């Protein structure tokens, strides 16, 4: 009914009439749902059998709630809203973004399978695929994010999944999602994209042919640095396996966290639009400043993936990464002179947050170098403050 994403962010997935006439979706703070009698229990079990048959055919059948590890009305409202925002058939909510990633991989991969992962991705994602999955007989190949030829060459007969991150953390590199989907689909390979940095406002991976979209909902979707959550969005046939694995492993979101996420989503379009504006202005300022060696922002023509960003994104986000001219100590002094942002390892909230990312990786110079993150790299996650104030603060700190 509603075609504009800003309207969907406010209304989609929620019932118009709530219990007692409440305007907001309640927090259903319960672990267990009770039954009227034995016949009520038998009805649920019959519906479960019917639902399995429908899901195998690519459909779905809503069930009444049974136990908190399987479903919750507050969680269901969030899942419905996120599915509509990304243009997917279903969404499954998790306790964190990493939980969404790890559960998805465990649900869709088996011993003897092979997965391809872009090398320039979140280090914990890379660690899970490279160091953990081999313990279960799953092989991983890392490929550059922008090299379709290398990606195609890495495909094996047992390749089951391609996992990309776009834009990547922290260098904001972009994979051409339409090209990846066009290569993978005829081969029967599932494609999944971590789209946390883009949000549904700036990019729609499912519309580009990708099978699964994953978000750390902790970041932009919730938007207020007070929630841990993750989500996977896609078609019924894949989300069924993922949801069943979530019920088995237990990585569910709490009703209270789901409520906070639902509240945050209502202002998603407003916040991201402001963060896009701040990102572009700050990136342009930094690129002109003599104390900055290099700026990474996909909205700048100097970015290596600028052409790809123009094709598949409608906005370029609120994260700007840049290298300070000098060494590690110079960069640390710059960080400590900043007055406006908080110092910490997150992004996507209303408050600006900055970090010298290499120091969050390791104190060992060799380990930092192996991570590919330079000591002089700064990741500035812009909030919704006024861009003039942010730039003035950057200017004084760069002196």
Give the integer Cα–Cα distance in Å for 261 and 230. 10
Catalytic site residue from 113, 120, 176, 194:
194
Segments in the chain below pLDDT 50: none
Catalytic site residue from 219, 274, 368, 379:
219
pLDDT value of position 369: 78
Is 16 marked active-site? no
Give the integer Cα–Cα distance in Å for 92 and 136. 24
Is 147 marked active-site? no
Place of tokens 């749902």: 33
The reply to whether domains 5-32+67-265 and 268-398 share a CATH topology is no
Domain ranges of the chain: 5-32+67-265, 268-398
Alpha-carbon dihedral sign for residues 14, 19, 21, 27:
negative
Residue 244 has, within 13 A of its CA and on its CB side, a CA count of: 12
Give the integer Cα–Cα distance in Å for 213 and 356. 28
pLDDT value of position 108: 98
Is 393 marked active-site? no
pLDDT value of position 282: 98
pLDDT value of position 214: 98
Q: Please state, in angstroms and as integers, the Cα–Cα distance from residue 65 to each residue in 34, 68, 235, 239, 257, following that order.
A: 9, 8, 22, 18, 18
pTM of the predicted model as reported, rounded to 2 decimal places: 0.94
Fold of 268-398: 3.90.1150
pLDDT value of position 1: 57
Is 333 marked active-site? no
Fold of 5-32+67-265: 3.40.640
Give the integer Cα–Cα distance in Å for 208 and 364. 41
pLDDT value of position 56: 65
Catalytic site residue from 69, 266, 281, 294:
69
């Amino acid at each position: 009914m509603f075609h504009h994403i800003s309207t969907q962010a406010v209304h989609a997935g929620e019932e118009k009439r709530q219990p007692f006439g409440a305007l907001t979706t309640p927090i259903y703070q319960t672990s267990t749902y009770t039954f009227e009698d034995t016949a009520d229990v038998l009805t649920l079990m019959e519906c479960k059998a019917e639902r399995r048959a429908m899901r195998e055919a690519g459909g779905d059948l809503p069930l009444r709630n049974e136990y908190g590890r399987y479903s919750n009305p507050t969680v269901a409202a969030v899942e419905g809203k996120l599915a509509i925002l990304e243009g997917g058939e279903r969404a499954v909510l998790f306790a964190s973004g990493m939980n969404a990633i790890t559960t998805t991989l465990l649900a869709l991969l088996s011993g003897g399978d092979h997965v391809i992962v872009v090398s320039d991705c979140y280090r914990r994602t890379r660690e899970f695929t490279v160091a953990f999955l081999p313990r279960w007989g799953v092989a991983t190949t890392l490929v550059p994010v922008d090299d379709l030829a290398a990606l195609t060459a890495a495909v094996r007969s047992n390749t089951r999944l391609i996992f990309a991150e776009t834009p990547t953390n922290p260098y904001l590199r972009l994979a051409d999602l339409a090209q990846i989907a066009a290569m993978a689909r005829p081969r029967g390979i599932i494609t999944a994209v971590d789209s946390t940095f883009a949000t549904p406002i700036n990019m729609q991976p499912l519309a580009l042919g990708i099978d699964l979209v994953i978000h750390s909902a902790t970041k932009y979707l919730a938007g207020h640095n007070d929630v841990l959550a993750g989500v996977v969005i896609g078609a019924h046939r894949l989300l069924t396996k993922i949801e069943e694995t979530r019920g088995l492993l237990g990585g569910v979101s709490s009703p209270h966290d789901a409520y906070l996420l639902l509240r945050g989503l209502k202002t998603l379009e407003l916040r991201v639009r402001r963060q896009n504006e701040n990102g572009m202005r700050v990136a342009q300022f930094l690129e002109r400043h003599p104390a900055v060696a290099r700026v990474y922002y996909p909205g700048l023509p100097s970015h290596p993936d600028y052409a790809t960003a123009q094709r598949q994104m409608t906005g370029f986000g609120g994260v700007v990464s840049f290298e300070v001219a000098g060494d590690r100590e110079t960069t640390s002094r710059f960080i400590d002179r900043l007055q406006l942002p908080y110092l910490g390892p997150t992004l996507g909230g209303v408050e600006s947050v900055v970090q010298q990312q290499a120091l969050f990786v390791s104190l060992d110079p060799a380990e930092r170098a192996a991570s590919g993150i330079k000591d002089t790299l700064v990741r500035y996650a812009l909030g919704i403050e006024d861009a003039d104030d942010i730039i003035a603060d950057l200017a004084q700190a760069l002196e």
